[in-house]
Amino acid sequence: MGRHKILIADDDIETLELIELALKQDEHEIITTFDGSSALKKAQEIKPDLVLLDCDMPNMNGYDVCKNIKKDHSTCFIPVILLSGTRTKVYDKIVGLQVGADDYMVKPFDSDELRARVTQSIQRSKEFISLNPLTKLPGTARIEEEITARLAHKEKFAVGYVDLDHFKAYNDVYGYKKGDNVIFLLQEVIFEAINLCGTKGDFLGHIGGDDFIMVTSVEKVDAVCGYITENFDKRIPAYYTQADRERGYIVTTDRRGNARNFSVMTVSIGISTNEKREISHYAEIIDILIEMKKYAKSAEQREGSVFVKDKRTSTTVSFN
């Protein structure tokens, strides 16, 4: 299965050591903590491939940690296995499932069974959401599944295609490692926008590179995109050297090999909604998104990041 990052939270040191010993047989990277609040903080910081939680811990119990992991857009796709020290198996398992746990085990447990369940949970999670290896977000297959399901249920919703401007030039000058840091910045800003301005059922996926797809409500999409464009523009200068910030651009070659000045990166967002016209297929939404993103990137007299929403009932295009 390969090496994965696993977070274990249990206030019993002996149990913690036994779990760590069992999982290291599969060469996983193990991170440990002893209380619920620390476990939640770690999960949000490191985005592990799986979390093992003791149900009964100080500060915050495993059920509450699991509930918070599953309700946060940035961690909701991480599989969680709850570990109970009691034999009230049916009740505890019901509670665990209600807070979103992916599996449940009662102590003491067989180490081989634990390893098998960990492997199964990680594999099932990967198959379900087609995780992007960099951001651990759902990939193309899961994005299509999400949008297709909403269309099938006749929901009114909005889809945003989020893309960086001048990202290749930044990579050429600063290198791919720093480019990855910018991807993480964009991801963080989008998550903040969804959590602060969006709705509980919002969705974020990562196509690859600097391309993200988000799904939110028709009513909230302007606020979400406004937050993204405003806050990305505030934070991105910190990812450039002082000299480049003062100059306002970097110099590198374009795709034709010609030297060019590239301004500080901005965000372009194309938005498609089925608010004012019927959309019946995923491919229609993608076509509209690509068109709107193209308009956003080519907007005249543009300063900073921008989003463009398709408000057509026929052919009218609206810039925001």
User: pLDDT (tens digit, 9 = 90+) per residue, 90-112?
Assistant: 566 677 778 888 998 888 889 99
Last residue of a domain, one of 76, 99, 129: 129
Domain that includes residue 189, residue range: 140-319
**Residue 38 belongs to some domain of the structure:** yes
Same-domain pairing of 99 and 144:
no
Same-domain pairing of 163 and 292:
yes
DSSP string computed for 25-48: TTT-EEEEESSHHHHHHHHHHH--
The pLDDT, as a whole number, for residue 93 is: 66
Same-domain pairing of 120 and 151:
no
Q: Round to whole Å and give the CA distance between 7 and 68.
A: 15
Last residue of a domain, one of 129, 153, 179: 129
The pLDDT, as a whole number, for residue 317 is: 43
Same-domain pairing of 302 and 182:
yes
Same-domain pairing of 221 and 103:
no
Rg, Å, the chain Cα set: 22
The pLDDT, as a whole number, for residue 181 is: 95
Last residue of a domain, one of 79, 99, 129: 129
- Verify cis geometry, omega within 30 degrees of 0, for the bond prior to 133: no
User: pLDDT (tens digit, 9 = 90+) per residue, 301-314?
Assistant: 578 999 999 987 64
Q: Identify the CATH number of the domain in which residue 196 sits.
A: 3.30.70.270
Count how many domains the chain has.
2
The pLDDT, as a whole number, for residue 74 is: 79
The pLDDT, as a whole number, for residue 131 is: 65
Same-domain pairing of 226 and 268:
yes
The pLDDT, as a whole number, for residue 176 is: 92
Q: Identify the CATH number of the domain in which residue 13 sits.
A: 3.40.50.2300
Same-domain pairing of 24 and 56:
yes
Q: What's phi and psi for 5, nearest 5 deg?
A: -95, 120
Same-domain pairing of 174 and 104:
no
Same-domain pairing of 292 and 185:
yes
Three-class DSSP category at 231: helix
Q: Per DSSP, what are the bridge partners of residue 159?
A: 215, 272
The pLDDT, as a whole number, for residue 249 is: 94
Same-domain pairing of 162 and 108:
no
Same-domain pairing of 94 and 176:
no
**Residue 32 belongs to some domain of the structure:** yes
The pLDDT, as a whole number, for residue 85 is: 76
**Residue 123 belongs to some domain of the structure:** yes
Three-class DSSP category at 272: strand
Same-domain pairing of 152 and 240:
yes
**Residue 305 belongs to some domain of the structure:** yes
CA geometry: angle 124, 126, 127, nearest 5 deg: 65
Q: Which string of b and e fits 34-70 if b means at least 16 CB within 10 Å?
A: bbbbbbbebbeeebbbbbbbbbbbeebbbbbbbbbbb
List of the chain residues with pLDDT < 50: 314-320
Q: Cα(first)–Cα(last) distance of the chain, in Å?
A: 46
